[in-house]
């Protein structure tokens, strides 16, 4: 696929001047296969996206190309549904608006979930892990060297869903523990969704 976006004005300066932004063209190729095997289903997919240079306020920058690989497997055993999903995202080296190099990054994510039906209530426990690596960049005449970076996060979650009249009730809660470089990313997350389901 191909996408071309027209120049637009995301905001206006205090003196009345408008900031123009011209996104670069995007090219994307995707290949995927899937199949069913009895009560099981497997999927594989690969997506490559190439981006042109973005331009704004006289600066030119590029986030780098991206390669996404995805795989999934779903099955049912003893009335319990299981789902395993794995994906990896690689972003190639790009450059920021000031000319500094944006280093290559890679993220790997894996999640395992189950669906357990107890009467009218479905419980969905899940476990997810994610790991990020960022390449180092050597110093040049303008900018200092950039060290390698890394991060990781593990998330344990539990969700439920049931019908209440014309509504589907979906509470969920999870706890994540992880770091990104020297920052702590640990914490709780809770959500309640109420969906109209006539």
pLDDT at 1 > cutoff 90: yes
Mean pLDDT (the chain, rounded)? 92
Write out the chain in H/E/C secondary structure.
CEECCCCEEEEECCCCCEEEEECCCEEEEEEEEEEEECCEEEEEEEEEEEECCEEECCEEEECCCEEEEEEEEEEEECCEEEEEEEEEEEECCEECCCCCEECCEEEEEEEEEEEEEECCEEEEEEEEEEEEEECCECCCCCCCCECCEEEEEEEEEEEEEEEECCEEEEEEEEEEEEEECCEECCEEEEEEEEEECC
Q: Answer yes or no: is 85 within a domain.
A: yes
pLDDT at 11 > cutoff 80: no
Q: Answer yes or no: is 9 within a domain.
A: no
Q: What is the pLDDT of residues 151-182, one digit of tens each?
A: 999 999 999 999 999 999 999 999 999 999 98
Q: What is the pLDDT of residues 97-113, one digit of tens each?
A: 777 888 999 999 999 99
- We report the CATH number of the domain holding residue 70 as 2.40.170.20
The count of structural domains within the chain is 1
The confidence score (pLDDT) of residue 97 equals 76
The confidence score (pLDDT) of residue 58 equals 75
């Amino acid at each position: 696929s191909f996408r071309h976006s027209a120049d637009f004005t995301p905001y206006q300066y205090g003196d009345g001047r408008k900031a123009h932004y011209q996104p670069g063209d995007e090219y994307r190729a995707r290949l995927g296969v899937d199949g069913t095997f009895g009560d099981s289903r497997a999927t594989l997919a690969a997506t490559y996206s190439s981006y042109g240079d973005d331009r704004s306020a006289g600066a030119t920058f590029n986030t780098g190309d991206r390669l996404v690989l995805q795989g999934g497997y779903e099955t049912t055993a003893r009335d319990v549904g299981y789902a395993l999903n794995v994906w990896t995202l690689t972003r190639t080296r790009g450059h920021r608006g000031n000319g500094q190099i944006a280093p290559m990054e890679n993220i790997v994510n894996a999640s395992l979930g189950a669906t357990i039906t107890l009467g009218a209530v479905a419980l969905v426990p899940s476990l997810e892990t994610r790991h990020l690596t960022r390449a180092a960049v050597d110093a040049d005449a303008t900018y200092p060297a950039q060290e390698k970076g890394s991060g990781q996060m593990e998330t344990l979650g539990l969700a439920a869903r049931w019908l209440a009249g014309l509504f589907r009730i979906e509470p969920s809660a999870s706890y994540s523990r992880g770091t990104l470089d020297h920052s702590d990313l640990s914490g709780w997350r809770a959500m309640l969704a109420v969906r109209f389901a006539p």
